[in-house]
A and B are shown apart, each in its own frame.
Chain A
Amino acid sequence: MKVRIFVTLKDGVLDPQGKAIHHALESLDFAGVNDVRAGKLIELDVDPSVGRDEIDRMCDKLLANTVIENYEIELPETAQEKAS
Chain B
Amino acid sequence: MQSAVIVFPGSNCDRDMAVALETVSGQKPHMVWHGDSELPPGLDVVAIPGGFSYGDYLRSGAMASRSSIIKAVIEAAGRGVRILGICNGFQILTETGLLPGALMRNRDIHFVCKDAELEVANNATLFTSRYPENAVISIPVAHHDGNYFADSDILDRLENEDRVVFRYRSEINGSSRNIAGIINEAGNVLGMMPHPERAIDKMHGGTDGLALFESLLR
Contact = CB atoms under 8 A, between A and B. Distances in A.
Contact of B107 (A16, A62, A63, A68): A16
A17 B95 contact: no
Interface stretch (B19-27, B45-53, B78-86, B97-105): B97-105
B109 A17 contact: yes
A36 interface: no
Given A13-B149, A14-B174, A65 B106 contact: no
B126 to A, nearest CB: 25
Q: Which one of A13, A14, A67, A68 has the greatest number of beta carbons of chain B within 10 Å?
A: A67
A16 B94 CA distance: 20
Nearest to B94: A67
A66 B171 CA distance: 26
A46 interface: no
B102 A68 contact: yes
Given A67-B102, A67-B150, A68-B102, A62 B108 contact: no
B59 interface: yes
Interface in A4-30: 13-14, 16-17, 20
A17 B105 CA distance: 8
A14 B147 CA distance: 10
B150 A62 contact: no
Overall SS of chain B's interface = loop
Contacts of B59: 65
Contact of B102 (A16, A61, A62, A65): A65
Contacts of B58: 62-63
Query: How many of chain A's residues touch chain B, expressed as a range?
Result: 10 to 19
B175 to A, nearest CB: 11
A17 B101 CA distance: 19
Contacts of B105: 16-17
Nearest to B97: A67
Interface string A45-84: 0000000000000000111010110000000000000000
B107 A65 contact: no
Contacts of A62: 58, 62, 66
A33 B96 CA distance: 37
Contacts of A16: 104-109, 147, 174
A10 to B, nearest CB: 10
Interface in B99-134: 100-102, 104-109
B109 A20 contact: yes
A67 B100 CA distance: 9
Q: Which one of B95, B101, B102, B106 has the greatest number of beta carbons of chain A within 10 Å?
A: B102
A34 to B, nearest CB: 20
Contacts of A20: 109
A4 to B, nearest CB: 16
6 contacts: A13-B104, A17-B109, A65-B59, A65-B62, A65-B102, A67-B101
